[in-house]
Structure 1
Amino acid sequence: MTLDYASLTAIPISYASCSLGSPSSPPPLLDRLDAISVANFTAIELSFPDILSYGEIVLGHSPDPKDYDELVKVAEAIKKECDTRKLGIMMLQPFANFEGWKEGSDGRKDAWERARGWVRIMQAAGTDMLQVGSTDTPLENVDLAKVVPDLRELCDMLKPHGFKVAYENWCWSSHAPDWKHVWRIVKEVDRDNIGLCLDTFQTAGGEWADPTTESGLLDDVSKIELIHRFSASLEDLSKTIPKDKIYLLQISDAYEVPEPLSKEVDEQGLRPRGRWSHDFRPLPYNGGYLPVVDVVTAVLRTGFRGWFSYEVFDGGPDGKGKDQDLVAYAQTAYNVQQRLIAEAAGKKYKPQ
C-alpha cells in the first residue's frame, strides 16, 4: 500500500513540553515554549511536572501536587502563555499508575483523587485529552479485573466535559506493555471517548529492542526471526486498529546504551526500559537505532492522519546530558517530521 504523500503534509505536529532540553535539568518553560513556537509546531503536550515547576514563578512557591486550587491557577497562566505564542495544548500528560488498584487500597484512593483534580487542570488549560499510561504498578498490588472497569469509569467521568482518554502502552508496564495489550483493553472498555496514544519508542522499544542485552535487541529469537516477528506485528497493527481510535502518535528514537542495563528494578522500583526511556531517547535520524520509520508507516497505513507529537528525552549517547540550543533542536524536530513523512511515503527526502 502506497501512502499518499499530499495527505501526510497536513498532519498536525506537537511537542511535549517536558522533553525539550536536558532531561535532568529542563530549561525554563517559557524558553521551551518560545523554541517550540518558532519551529512552527502548533501545539504542546503539557506535562504535569512543568505545571509544578512553573508554579514557582506564578505562585512564588512550589505548589503541592495535590493542591488543585493552586494548580488550576498555574494551568491558566500556562494557557495564556501558549495563547500568546499561538500554541494549543493538545493533551495533559502523563497520568500514571491509575488503573487496577485493589479495592480499599491507598493507591486506589489516590488515583481517583488525582483523576478529579486533573479534570480541573484540563479545564483550566483548555485541553480535551488526558494521556493515561498503562500502569507499571507491581502486579501483586493490581487487581487486573478492575483495569477495564476503572477506565470505563474514567471515560464516563470525562464525558460530560467533552474530554477523552489517550491510553498508551508503556513498554515497561506490568500488565500492558505492547500495542496489542492496550488495544484489547480499549476495545473492552467500549467507550467513544477512549483511544490509543501510540509511540514509536514504546512499540519498537518493547517488541524490537532490549537495553539489557549486549546486542541491544531482543535475543529470544535470531535476528532474522526478530525482523519477521516485528514486521508481522506492524502489519497486524496497520490492519487491525481503526484510524479513529488512534488519537496521536508520539515520536522518538532510542540510543543503544553504553553498557547493558540491569534486568532488576532500581531503587525507585523502575524497570530497565523505564530507566532507558528517561535519558536515552533522541530524535529520529540523530544517533538512535530503532526502526522508527517502519512504526510510523504502519500507523499511517491505518489511515490515521492525526497528531504527531515529539516526545524525546535526549541525554546524549551516554545518558548523562548534553547542551542543547533549544531553537535549533526544535527546528531539527520539525525537519525530522518532514523527512519521516517523506520516507513513509517512499519519497526521497530533500532538505529545504
Structure 2
Amino acid sequence: MSLDWTSLQTIPRSYASCSLGNPTNPPPLLDRLDAISAAGFTAIELSFPDILSYGATVLGRSPDPKNYDQLCDVASAIKSECDKRNMHVMMLQPFSNFEGWKDGAQNADGVDGRADAFERVNGWLRIMKAAGTDMLQVGSSDTPLEKLDLNRVVPDLQQLCDMLKEHGFKVAYENWCWSTHAPDWKDVWRIVKEVDRDNIGLCLDTFQTAGGEWADPTTESGLLEDVSKIELIERFQQSLDDLKFTIPGDKIYLLQISDGYQVPEPLSKGPDESGTNPRGRWSSDRRPLPYNGGYLPVVDVTTAVLRTGFRGWFSYEVFDAGAEGKGRNVDIVAYAKAASNVHNRLLAECSGKKFPVTHDHGTRITDRE
C-alpha cells in the first residue's frame, strides 16, 4: 500500500546549521542562516561548534567551551537571528560521550568522564533555554568499551531525562554507526524502551542506518562483505521491516537525511591518530544530499520510517567535502535550494509518485569555481 501523499505534505523541514558548505571551512553562520531560510526551511539544528565559532562575532573573542554564561549569550544571539528569518532552533546537537562511564575513567581531555558528562548536561540545559529549543540530541557513545560500564547506560539516560523533564525538555537518542555500544537502530530502540521515560525518543538517520547495516567504507565494494550481496539485501530489508513494524511513530522525534559517497579507496580498518574509527571518519565529510553522487538506499530507509506513522521533522544534515573528502566550495544558496528540492523528490519517491527531474532540481550540485 502506498503512503498517503497528503499526509507527507505536513512534514516540517529543518537543516543542520553546521552542515551547509565546506565542512573544513564553513561559511559565516549568518550567511548559512540566510541560505537555509531562503530555501524554505523553518528550523535549524543548532550545533555546539557553531555556537563556539559565532561567539567570536558576538563577544569579540572565542568563548571558553565551559563558560556557559558566554555560551548562553551567543545562543540567545543566534535565536534572535533565527527569529529575524522566521526560523527557530529545533534541536541542540551533538551531545556526545555521555552515557555509561565507569568510575574514574578519563575522557579524551584527561578529566573524569562521568563528572564531565553531567557538568555538560547542566551547561547545555542553560544553552537550550537561551536558544529557545526543547530537544537535545544525544549520540550513542563511542567511548572505548574498556571505559564503559554498560549497566550504567540506562540509569544515566534516565537521570538525563529526569533532569530535562524539569524544564519541559526531551532527549532525541541517535545511533551513531561508529558507536562502541549501540551502533544500530535496534540497539538504541532497546535502550529507549528500557529507559522508559515519556521524554525520550529516537533520532533516526538515513546515513547511520544504511551506513552501518548496508555499507562499509573499508571494503572495495563499499558494502558489508560478511554475506553475499543477495543475503545482504535480504538482511537489510528484514531490518527495515522490523523497524516499520516495531517502533511507534510517536517515539521518533526526527529523521536526519543524508547519503554517503563510496570512497575511491577503502579506508583503513583501524582508528586514526585521533581514535576515530572508519565510519566516524567517513561520516565527517563524505555525506552528500541524496541524488547527488551517493550510493546508500536512502529512499528505502526513509520509506520504512514513514511507514511507522512518523510525520515529524525531516532534517537535512550533510557533510559534503566530495567523494575524496578533501573539501570543496559550493554556492550555499544553491545547495540549500537543492536540499529543498531533494526533500520534495524524496517524499514523492517514498509515496510511489514519479518526480520530474529538471535542470532546476538537478542530480548533482556542481562545485563553484
TM-score range relative to shorter protein: over 0.9
* Residues 126-173 of structure 1 deviation map (CA, whole Å, 9 limit, x = unaligned): 000000000000000000000000000000000010000000000000
Equivalent residue number for residue 130 of structure 1: 136
* Residues 306-342 of structure 1 deviation map (CA, whole Å, 9 limit, x = unaligned): 0000000000111111121011000000000000000
Partner of 2:166, secondary structure, is: helix
Matched, 1:216 2:216: no
Equivalent residue number for residue 25 of structure 2: 25
Q: 1:134 corresponds to which letter in structure 2?
A: S
Q: 1:70 corresponds to which letter in structure 2?
A: Q
Q: 1:278 corresponds to which letter in structure 2?
A: S
Q: 1:97 corresponds to which letter in structure 2?
A: N
Identity of aligned residues (%): 77
Matched, 1:151 2:149: no
Partner of 2:190, secondary structure, is: helix
Q: Distance in 2 between matches of 1:350 and 1:123?
A: 43
Partner of 1:161, secondary structure, is: coil
Q: 1:319 corresponds to which letter in structure 2?
A: G
Equivalent residue number for residue 92 of structure 2: 92
Partner of 1:132, secondary structure, is: strand
The structure 2 residue matched to 1:238, chosen from 223, 237, 244, is 244
Q: 1:239 corresponds to which letter in structure 2?
A: F
Matched, 1:247 2:253: yes
Q: Distance in 2 between matches of 1:172 and 1:221?
A: 20
User: 5 Å matches for 1:244-323?
Assistant: 244-323=250-329
Offset of residue 350 of structure 1: 2.6
Q: 1:10 corresponds to which letter in structure 2?
A: T
The structure 2 residue matched to 1:165, chosen from 156, 159, 171, is 171
Larger mean Cα displacement after TM superposition, 318-327 or 26-35: 318-327
Aligned Cα root-mean-square deviation (Å): 0.7
Q: 1:243 corresponds to which letter in structure 2?
A: G
User: 5 Å matches for 1:320-339?
Assistant: 320-339=326-345
Q: 1:29 corresponds to which letter in structure 2?
A: L
Q: Distance in 2 between matches of 1:104 and 1:72?
A: 30
Equivalent residue number for residue 59 of structure 1: 59
Q: 1:63 corresponds to which letter in structure 2?
A: P
* Residues 202-252 of structure 1 deviation map (CA, whole Å, 9 limit, x = unaligned): 000000000000000000000000000000000000000000000000000
* Residues 18-69 of structure 1 deviation map (CA, whole Å, 9 limit, x = unaligned): 0000010011000000000000000000000000000000001111100001
Offset of residue 2 of structure 1: 1.5
* Residues 256-301 of structure 1 deviation map (CA, whole Å, 9 limit, x = unaligned): 0011001100111101000000110000000000000000000000
Q: Distance in 2 between matches of 1:322 and 1:235?
A: 37
Q: Distance in 2 between matches of 1:247 and 1:308?
A: 9
Q: 2:324 corresponds to which letter in structure 1?
A: D
Partner of 1:195, secondary structure, is: strand
How many residue pairs match? The answer is: 352
Equivalent residue number for residue 50 of structure 1: 50
Structure 2 portions without partners, runs of 5+: 106-111, 361-369
Q: 2:67 corresponds to which letter in structure 1?
A: D
Partner of 2:171, secondary structure, is: strand
Equivalent residue number for residue 121 of structure 1: 127
Equivalent residue number for residue 233 of structure 2: 227
Structure 1 portions without partners, runs of 5+: none
Offset of residue 104 of structure 1: 3.9
TM-score, scaled relative to structure 2: 0.95
Offset of residue 192 of structure 1: 0.1
Partner of 2:314, secondary structure, is: strand
Q: 1:220 corresponds to which letter in structure 2?
A: D
Q: 1:80 corresponds to which letter in structure 2?
A: S
* Residues 75-121 of structure 1 deviation map (CA, whole Å, 9 limit, x = unaligned): 00000000000111000000000000012440001000001000000
Equivalent residue number for residue 108 of structure 2: none
TM-score, scaled relative to structure 1: 0.99
Matched, 1:344 2:350: yes
Moved beyond 3 Å, runs of 4+: none
Q: Distance in 2 between matches of 1:285 and 1:218?
A: 22
